[in-house]
Amino acid sequence: MRDQTTDVLNPVARLREFIKEGGFAGGGRLPPERHLSDQLGLSRATLRKALDALERDGVIWRHVGKGTFVADGAPQAGADQPSPMVDLARQLTPFRMMRARMAIEPAIAREAAVNASAEALQKMRRAIEGAKNASTWKEYEIQDDLFHRSIAEASDNLLLLTLFDQLNEVRRAVAWGNVTRETERPSRDHSSFPEHDAIALAIADRDPGAAYEAMRKHLGSVARRLFGEV
């Protein structure tokens, strides 16, 4: 029988140490949850909370149907070839990437307004607050990523979530070298903050049309900031 005290001895730190000692580089896939649970001596529920914490911190990210990966990289399709999504990203400009997001993510937000659970809504709010409290652009971008993925999760549609994950994998790999930041962190009046609030409010109000439009406006605003056009 598992010693119940092991689950309270900082499972997040234990998981971080496992990743470090295991030599998991960016893009490396972690073992399945059942194996991690046995190796770390954690219950499945405690392990999932630790994984959630590391995902919020940007240490790991999840891809439905493929597993959990260490951040700052993309999952490998094989030792000798890049992921098909990464290969696709090499053929896209950031502008084309944004156009794809504008075509897909508003529809996902519309579905989220129909199907979002209370837990999903809470996850959105945590990501929104995390973005507002970010002290660097990198921290902001991690929370922004979590916010958009929480909307895909809220759609309660595995196909849409998988589609979002693939879109996001391409987004991570697109070369954004022409995008520069003039400040250390987002300003307190950064336009994405009220835009995120509007999206979350429309989803919480179960208003599919408003959710679609709020996401469309948000992504259009992001595109204008980055490229001066949409």
Same domain, 119 and 56: no
- In a domain, residue 101? The reply is yes
Same domain, 38 and 121: no
Per-residue pLDDT in tens (0 to 9) along the chain, 230 residues = 344 434 445 888 889 888 887 778 777 889 988 889 888 888 888 998 889 888 877 788 877 677 888 876 444 334 344 556 667 777 777 888 899 999 999 999 999 999 999 999 999 999 999 999 999 988 898 899 999 999 999 999 999 998 998 888 888 777 555 556 778 888 899 999 999 999 999 999 999 999 999 999 999 999 888 777 65
d(CA 61, CA 33): 14
Task: For the chain, list the strands marked E by DSSP.
Answer: 60-63, 67-70
Same domain, 91 and 170: yes
Same domain, 49 and 134: no
Q: In total, how many domains does the chain have?
A: 2
- In a domain, residue 75? The reply is no
Same domain, 102 and 183: yes
Same domain, 59 and 172: no
Asked if 134 and 193 count as a contact pair (C-beta separation under 8 A), the reply is no
| Domain that residue 32 falls in | 4-70
Task: Single out the residue of 118, 125, 39, 27 nearest to residue 78, CA to CA.
Answer: 27
CATH code, domain carrying 15: 1.10.10.10
CB crowding 208-220: b at 16 or more within 10 Å, else e: bebbbbbbbebbb
CATH code, domain carrying 216: 1.20.120.530
- In a domain, residue 117? The reply is yes
